[in-house]
Amino acid sequence: MPTTLIRPAQQQDLPALLAIYNHEILNGVATFDLQPKSLAERQSWFDEHNKNNHPLLVAEQDGEVLGYASLSRYAEKAAYNSTVELSVYIAPSARRQGIASQLMLAVIDLAKKDNAIHLIVSLITGTNQASISLHQKFGFNKVGTLHQVGYKHQQFLDVHIYELFV
């Protein structure tokens, strides 16, 4: 099995991150975006990471980016600054290989070492059992459900709210 390198994302990773995200937009329910993003749109998202308490990590094997995890701003109001939102996306060809777990372990470790972070929140689509199981494995607790809050692929979807205090 190839060695997986978990490292901070770099500018040259952006096209791979975009491809992973756009695949999920078109084919999955992990994001409620409905239209693929352009490189310029994803650049602004990228620029918000790897500074302050918002890391963006990638999983790389043999020079190929297979997934990423990010801690992003949870909400705009200043009182939320100690709360971050976790996102994990894995390329379809790399799923079920433990890469998401490696990314989770690394990003949670960074959060625990950062005194500016108190709480990690994840908003998980109700039908995304892989993500639910992953979060439970790492000690996240389900604290609520927003019922039928999103509509994608001709169906209404619930979103579960998970949290982990660090």
Token pair for 23: 């695949």
CA dihedral 99, 108, 75, 40 (to 10 degrees): -40
At residue 5's C-alpha, the angle toward residues 81 and 74, to 5°, is 15
pLDDT score recorded for residue 51: 82
Walk across the sheet containing 5-8 and list its strands: 5-8, 56-61, 64-73, 83-90, 119-125, 155-165, 141-152
In the predicted model, residues of the chain with pLDDT beneath 70 are 1
Which domain CATH number covers 127? Answer: 3.40.630.30
Concatenated DSSP letters of 99-134: HHHHHHHHHHHHHHH-TT--EEEEEEETT-HHHHHH
Residue 106: closest CA among 65, 156, 71: 71
Residue 111: closest CA among 68, 54, 48: 54
Please state the pTM of the whole predicted model.
0.94
pLDDT score recorded for residue 1: 65
Q: How many domains does the chain have?
A: 1
Cα–Cα distance for residue pair 111/19, rounded to 1 Å:
26
Task: Name the residue with tokens 């791979």.
Answer: 16
Contacts for 86 with CB less than 8 Å, ≥ 6 apart = 69, 70, 71, 107, 120, 121, 122
What residue numbers bound the domain in which 59 lies? 5-165
- Over residues 71-108, the pLDDT tens digits come to 999 999 999 999 999 999 999 999 999 999 999 999 99
